[in-house]
Each structure stands twice: as structure tokens, then as C-alpha cells.
């Protein structure tokens, strides 16, 4: 069963968070602002994002980003050849996969994923708009929502 506090950001979203900001940053700031929300990512997923960052910016920025995000994520393993975002979500029991990939958000993809995982695949703007930290916290904890407990920029 998927955990509603576990989130995977596909490589395109991870790169956009760093290089563009906007909806990707807003969505991942929700994750970074709460110690009880977990970013899940395999090494393959981070390698894809690192390669994208290097191609669009430079190798040093990509390397620095990788070092930082390695300490922020919970790592999972999956078979080589699996889609890194989907596999990270499945193997990491995540309930949310943030992606700009239309094929992952299609009805056909949803129907093929549904028997294997309780996974919501949506673009970052939808996640940012719909994320309700207070409701999620109260559904997964025994006390009242204390508010964000981390600075997303640290």
C-alpha cells in the first residue's frame, strides 16, 4: 500500500526545480518544508536528472545538485531498464509521482499502473495546488498539524 507522505519527482521535475523554479519548485517546496514528507528517488532517477542539469547548465552545477539531493532523498533500488520515476514510486511505496511526461499521466498509463500501485501521477502545478499539508498530517499523525518545520531553501 502506498504511503501518502512519500513523493517521487521525475527527472524533468527535479531539473526544473533547480533550473526554472515555478510549479516544480513550488511542489517540491511542499516536500522540503515538512520533515514528515519523504522524497523518494533511485540512483537511476537522480542520474537522469543530473544528466539533464549538466546538459542544460553545466557539470559543476549538476554535481553540486546531486551531492545535495543525495542527502535529502530516501533511496530505493529497482531493476535496470525500468522507468526510473515509476520504479522509484513503486519500489518506494510512494503515493505521488510528479512528472511533466504526458504519457505517464494518460488514462492508459493509469489503468496499467492501478493494479500494481495506488499512485497519483500529476504535473507539479496540480500537486502544488492540491497539496494540503494540514489534512495530510492529521490523517497520518495523532496530533494537530504544527505547520512547516523546515526551510525549503536550506
Q: pLDDT for 88-140, tens place per residue? A: 999 999 999 999 998 877 666 665 667 566 788 999 999 999 999 999 999 99
Please indicate, yes or no, if residue 143 is contained in any of the structural domains.
no
Please indicate, yes or no, if residue 125 is contained in any of the structural domains.
yes
pLDDT at 106: 66
Q: pLDDT for 22-62, tens place per residue? A: 999 999 999 999 999 999 999 999 999 999 999 999 999 99
Query: Measuring CA to CA, how many Å separate 46 from each of 2, 38, 54, 130?
Result: 21, 15, 12, 25
* Total number of domains in the chain: 1
Please indicate, yes or no, if residue 17 is contained in any of the structural domains.
yes
CA dihedral 11, 17, 18, 20 (to 10 degrees): 110
Please indicate, yes or no, if residue 120 is contained in any of the structural domains.
yes
CATH number for the domain harbouring residue 97: 3.40.50.1010
Please indicate, yes or no, if residue 64 is contained in any of the structural domains.
yes
Please indicate, yes or no, if residue 149 is contained in any of the structural domains.
no
pLDDT at 118: 76
Please indicate, yes or no, if residue 28 is contained in any of the structural domains.
yes
Is residue 76 predicted with pLDDT exceeding 90? yes
Q: What is the pTM of this model?
A: 0.93
Domain enclosing residue 118, as ranges: 3-137
Please indicate, yes or no, if residue 104 is contained in any of the structural domains.
yes
Tell me how far apart the alpha carbons of residues 63 and 51 are, in angstroms, rounded to a whole number: 9
DSSP 82: S
Tell me the average pLDDT across 69-96.
94
Amino acid at each position: 500500500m502506498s504511503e501518502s507522505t512519500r513523493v517521487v519527482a521525475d527527472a524533468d521535475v527535479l531539473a526544473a526545480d533547480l533550473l526554472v523554479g515555478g510549479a516544480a519548485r513550488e511542489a517540491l517546496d511542499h516536500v522540503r518544508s515538512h520533515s514528515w514528507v519523504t522524497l523518494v528517488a533511485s540512483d537511476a532517477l537522480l542520474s537522469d536528472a543530473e544528466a539533464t542539469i549538466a546538459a542544460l547548465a553545466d557539470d559543476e552545477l549538476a554535481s553540486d545538485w546531486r551531492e545535495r539531493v543525495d542527502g535529502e532523498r530516501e533511496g530505493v533500488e529497482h531493476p535496470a531498464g525500468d522507468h526510473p520515476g515509476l520504479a522509484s514510486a513503486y519500489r518506494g511505496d510512494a503515493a505521488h509521482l510528479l512528472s511533466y511526461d504526458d504519457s505517464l499521466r494518460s488514462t492508459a498509463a493509469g489503468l496499467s499502473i492501478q493494479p500494481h500501485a495506488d499512485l497519483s501521477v500529476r504535473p507539479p502545478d496540480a500537486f502544488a495546488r492540491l497539496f494540503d499539508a494540514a489534512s495530510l498530517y492529521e490523517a497520518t499523525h495523532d496530533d494537530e498539524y504544527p505547520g512547516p518545520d523546515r526551510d525549503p531553501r536550506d
